[in-house]
Amino acid sequence: MVRVMTPSVRLLPNAITVLALCAGLSAAQFALNRQFVLAIGAIGVAAVLDSLDGRIARLLDATSKMGAELDSLSDAISFGVSPALVLYIWFGDTSGIGWIVSLTFAVCIVLRLARFNTLLDVEKPPYAKEFFVGVPAPAGGLCALMPVILTLEFGDGWWSSAPVVYVWTVAIALLLISRLPTLSLKSVKVPAKAAAPLLVGVGLAAAAIIQYPLIALAVALLLYLAHIPYAVRRYQWLANHPEAWGVPLRERRAIRRSTSRLRLRRPRIRVAGNQRLAVRRTQDHVVRGVRTYPAESQDRSRRRSWRRIGLRQRNR
């Protein structure tokens, strides 16, 4: 039986993308009214909708080139232009440096999205599908608002000073255009045994978001940034172990354990008896477990005692 897809259903992913665009752009309007909590919430809603439109398009087999281009434009506005305007309006810098930093962040978001579109047609190894190149646009847009989140929750502090805000925004912008691998949630698979604990964690997270939304968002963003070293290490390990490509997570863990157990230590070279006299090493190269001596021409005048050559007299 052939499944016929109606045009209205095929337009559903694009409709979600448009809603994400409206939510992200509304953040600028909330910022102009000094409603920064609503501005952060609008960008968060745009991030949630952005994570849904692609999945729904693949489930409905409604992917199209127009949808991909619309998604990129929506991300550029929702997570590039809007966070930059929110930061500039919140900080109220009139010296011009704040505007330069905001422009830098918006430009880096656009460059990151342009690179993402060009990499879609590039053939990549199987393990590369589990990672993004650089920090994704939704995560970058929310991370840039970290000074605003902390100030709204805890008041003014060192996190709201001009140098910290400028350095933080530029650092997030550099993470966006960097080539550091970050984990993709599309490749995360939850085992059956972890389903129940995961649901409990989702419930606790929902309660934390309802009671302490800004603190929960700040903790989530910090945890995301903290996972980058792990993602880099995992990417490098997969690149060096082709046998782990495309295998289930349980088999991949078994491969990791087996390789760690078979890792051999550096052998210790031991020379005994008169053979030690034939060992010659340069002074700047020391082998563990072997005594090294200068060249024979430089050591003629040096007395070689039993203690120096490492031998012991036998008790007669």
Element (H, E) at 133: strand 131-133
Q: What is the pLDDT of residue 316?
A: 44
Q: What is the pLDDT of residue 284?
A: 41
Q: Tell me the pTM.
A: 0.74
Q: What is the DSSP letter of 115?
A: H
Cβ neighbours for 146, distance < 8 A, ≥ 6 positions apart: 159, 168, 218, 221
Stretches in the chain below the pLDDT threshold 70: 1-8, 187, 190, 259-316
Q: What is each CA distance from 182 to 23, 34, 68, 185, in whole angstroms? A: 26, 33, 21, 10
Say which amino acid occupies 59: L
d(CA 213, CA 38): 11
Q: Which of 282, 283, 281, 271 is nearest to 309 (CA)?
A: 271
Q: Which residues of the chain does CATH 1.20.120.1760 include?
A: 7-185+200-226
Residue 223 backbone class (left: φ over 0; alpha: ψ -120 to 50; beta: rest): alpha
Q: What is the pLDDT of residue 293?
A: 45
- Architecture per CATH, domain 7-185+200-226, reads as Up-down Bundle (1.20)
Q: What is the pLDDT of residue 258?
A: 74
Q: What is the pLDDT of residue 3?
A: 52
Q: Which of 239, 226, 237, 309 is nearest to 275 (CA)?
A: 309
Q: What's the count of helices (H) and strands (E) in the chain, helices before strands?
A: 13, 2
**Residue 167: HSE in the Cβ half-sphere, 13 Å Cα cutoff:** 7
